[in-house]
Chain A
């Protein structure tokens, strides 16, 4: 058994001629909570999809439990995914199934357990996230925080070795955020799993993560424990951790000359082009 349950080795990924990641190296040790952080559009969720085998790297490899993900057959990928649980950004609950049936779904698909046992296991998972009382509700009747917790219960339904979280704190109120935050840590330790969190919420992530990777411009810009990164003087990390408006990540999207835009040079060009086409 390898010490690291997931290893990303010299990974590059891109599509439509644009490289999103270039030579990324990461390791995810067993039993730890590891966070991948970075600004919007930095490819954090794509990294989760690469780990889950939903995307194939352009170069390099992702190894899960020692096996190269993109070299597996479809059945091989599915075997590895049975060791994973994933909580999607908005829960991704099946809207035609009740809370109970959502959590029971992976059990019904992958086990031959009798109905009575599925019933007990589902209620235990829901109890762990504090929603046993909501097992009859439909996903449309849940708040954002509750949906996220049900998704978490579903993600841990088969006691996975790896639990992946895609923006688990996004759009939650402070109470729900605190609940989800502590649940991630508690469940990880109780199940002896490895958690991979993709997030841009610095405070909550630093609270529960053992190790953090910062991704920017397609590479790992910084890495370390939350304590180290809090004290980091690296301009990008400092800007991200302290929420500075401007810095290595510019406030303005790349644009042409401001004066020329205001003087209407572009408008005139567009009008001339339109006349030519007409």
Chain B
């Protein structure tokens, strides 16, 4: 396996407040890697740093062997990093189809768009039913599906999922995680950020625990699931 994404001593701050203090971790090609942590641990900041919405103060991000620390966010999309942002971040006034098509905006060649649309509709049949509906009028779960589907339309090598289970009903959460595994099995590497540690660890090949801007634990998903300290802190098991 080759390393697809590598963060080295990444420091990111909002003004004077430092949110990530020298974060280092890596994602191998073909993996699902979960990043779990409590509120304010820096999960979304990490995602934004990878997708390019936030600039690094120090450190470097390498994608597929190239240093992309200085590359603009919209260019990173073309390189193969797509993100389904936290809080879904769909375009509320656009229809489902238009949203999905915005996902292809960064693509240089338009061949295979049809196949990708078909793939997204196969993964999320609900989106096909709702294809002419305005994104903002759909339920939270459907919007989450749309956000993931839209990210897939960019044909990413690395898919960044920021809290895909946030605010969803339990049956939706299960469904979303099942689909995440399915997407991964079709060949897309996935970096997943979650508060829902149980599911995130169970589905992940490897995982990292993020606490106040640094990595405190790492290991395979199973190892972390059985770690007592993590059980206490994140899984609500005493």
User: Are A and B subunits of one complex?
Assistant: no
Residues of A within 8 A of B (CB): none
